[in-house]
Homo-oligomer: A and B are copies of this chain.
Amino acid sequence: MIIVKLGGSVISDKNVEKSFHEDVVSQIASEIAQFYPKENFIIVHGGGSYGHPLAKEYNLREGIEPNPESKRIGFSKTHQAMLELNEKIINIFLEKNLPAFSVSTSSVFITEGGSVAYGNVEVLKRLIELRLIPVLFGDVAVDLKKGIDILSGDQIITYLAKMLRPSKVIFLMDVDGIYDGKPDEGSLIWELKVREIDRLIERLSGSAGIDVTGGIANKLRETKEIAQFSEVWFVNGKVSGRLSGAIIGGGTGTKIMP
């Protein structure tokens, strides 16, 4: 079973409200259709310009306090915006005869400290046995400490990798993989050993501790954990054939080595 992460920046332009890259998602679905049903898939997608603006407007990461009336409304609206994006993806998959099935992250997972504290994966396991393709997404979540929080797609994947032991986790990005500097300055790392990740994070973060690559350091921290349970790939989701390459086990991108 392969988990594919559709990064928010691959499927959507974060600077344009409710933007959706239908052509990109359609290309990704076509590549998956070449391997399904011989291979099983779980899809996890990010929020792009659907979930993030509302989560920010209502300050949901802060928790249910100090303004619970407003937070409750924002919690629901953010989930509905994510369902709207999710529906677009589901429909494209169904058009290609891929039985993508929407699973609402917030109905299943409870968080603590930004990670999954609890989540029952029994429904997911059975959906895969039935050869359906579960599609989860970054979403709002009930949180043990703060009442409510946001659960990112990457965090869901870390939990699923631990619980379901996929053969591969493939992160689709809007760049060619992991670079040893800014994407436009550094060079692409083709193979990255898990024990080299900490050093790379340090270099990317610089002396000021600022992540110049926009969240790559966080992704690499997750990767250290995911790599304990699964092969991990980072490839460009906007370039045709890169996902197929990672599924087969070659092509342009970054492979994380044990």
Contact = CB atoms under 8 A, between A and B. Distances in A.
A164 to B, nearest CB: 15
Interface in A37-96: 64, 68-69, 72-73, 75-77, 79-80, 83, 87, 90-91, 94
A104 interface: yes
Interface residues of A, number: 38
A106 interface: yes
Contacts of A106: 101, 103, 123
A77 B94 CA distance: 8
A167 interface: no
Contacts of A120: 120
A104 to B, nearest CB: 4
B75 A99 contact: yes
Given A83-B83, A104-B103, A132-B75, A142 B118 contact: no
Nearest to A77: B94
Nearest to A97: B73
A247 to B, nearest CB: 21
A148 interface: yes
B102 A72 contact: no
The secondary structure that dominates the A interface is: helix
A100 interface: yes
B101 A76 contact: yes
A199 interface: no
Given A83-B102, A118-B122, 17 more contacts: A72-B130, A76-B90, A76-B94, A76-B132, A77-B94, A79-B102, A80-B87, A80-B90, A101-B106, A104-B107, A107-B107, A108-B123, A110-B123, A110-B126, A120-B120, A127-B142, A130-B142
Instruction: List 10 tightest A-B contacts by C-beta distance, closest first.
Output: A72-B99, A104-B104, A107-B107, A126-B142, A76-B101, A104-B107, A103-B107, A120-B120, A107-B108, A130-B147
Interface of A: 64, 68-69, 72-73, 75-77, 79-80, 83, 87, 90-91, 94, 97, 99-104, 106-108, 110, 118, 120, 122-123, 126-127, 130-132, 142, 147-148
